[in-house]
Structure 1
Amino acid sequence: MKAFKIAGLVVLKLAVITLYVFVVMRLWNWLMPSIFGITTLTFWQTLGVLLLCKLLFLGSGWNYRRRYGPPHSVKHRWKSGFRQKWKEKMCNRQTDNDEQ
């Protein structure tokens, strides 16, 4: 049963990626040739352009600050007394506003 669920998620993810690439390709082929005189793109060229943009602008996916930096999870904030500190801050803000 678990294998079917994983296979279904893989198929769903591939379908979403395919739809995304198709939408970008159609928008590119509709706008870019008429505005800038650029040639049209095929599906695979569009996939390559999107992959290139991801690598250039978002990085390769290795986010060292997230792995080796301080944890920013909700559970960590909750355990560190985040809720109590937030309440104190809001109470101080409320009293400061009342004094003015």
Structure 2
Amino acid sequence: MKKIFYEKRFFFIPFGIAAILALVSFVVMQLWNNLLPEILHVGTITFWQAMGIFILSKILFGFGGKGGGRGGAPWMRRKQMMEEKFGAMSEEDKARFKQQWKDRCNWGRRGRDDWRDSWKDAPIAEKETKDG
């Protein structure tokens, strides 16, 4: 029984994919032809043009998916990567990492308006004020 199913799936899978592609292309064509000519004053498109637009958008914007792998948003992959790295750190490493970022970003070190005055202490700013 399983052997028959596995043999038939190679026959039905291409037809299923073609049917889904045709359905999505039809939906794209209908949405385009019913919305965009009124909104953007563009012409109507054919079924084959809709299929081309759909395939082009999949090539340009990806095939979806959740998180990791090829699909998913890049920020989700970076977030997942950072969570994995942070999860593998010891408590001391986590504290050191947090301190480095606090030092780098000056969290809690300066008031809201102190950044305006901090540039005056820079050597370049002193040189410009002495010359000018």
TM-score bracket for this pair, using the shorter chain length: 0.5 to 0.7
- 2: CA distance, partners of 1:56 / 1:8: 28
Separation in structure 1 between the aligned mates of residue 57 and residue 15 of structure 2, nearest angstrom: 24
Asked if the contact 2:25–2:51 (Cα under 8 Å) also holds between the matched residues in 1, the reply is yes
Alignment match of 2:40 (pick from 31, 36, 43):
36
Shift of 1:41: 0.7
State yes or no: 1:15 paired with 2:28: no
Q: Aligned AA for 2:19?
A: A
Q: Which residue of 2 aligns with 1:48?
A: 52
Please report how far the alpha carbon of residue 66 of structure 1 lies from its aligned counterpart in structure 2 after TM superposition: 4.0
Find the aligned partners of 2:47 and 2:16 in 1 and give their Cα distance. 19
Where does the alignment leave 5 or more consecutive residues of structure 1 unmatched?
A: 60-64, 68-84, 86-100
Cα deviation, residue 17, structure 1: 1.2
Paired residues, number: 63
- 1:66-86 alpha-carbon deviations (Å, 9 max, x no partner): 48xxxxxxxxxxxxxxxxx8x
Letter aligned with residue 26 of structure 1: Q
- How far 1:5 moved relative to its partner? 1.8
Alignment identity in percent?
A: 37
Task: Give distance in 1, aligned partners of 2:51 and 2:40.
Answer: 21
Give, in whole Å, the separation in 1 of the partners of 2:51 and 2:30: 12
One-letter code aligned to 1:25: M
Helix, strand or coil for the counterpart of 1:54?
A: helix
Number of the residue aligned with 1:78? none
Relative contact order (C-alpha < 8 Å, sep 6+): which is higher?
Answer: 1
* Corresponding letter in the other structure for 2:59: L
- Determine the structure 1 residue equivalent to 2:29: 25
- Normalising by structure 2, what TM-score? 0.42
CA RMSD of aligned residues (A): 2.4
* 2:58 pairs with 1:57: no
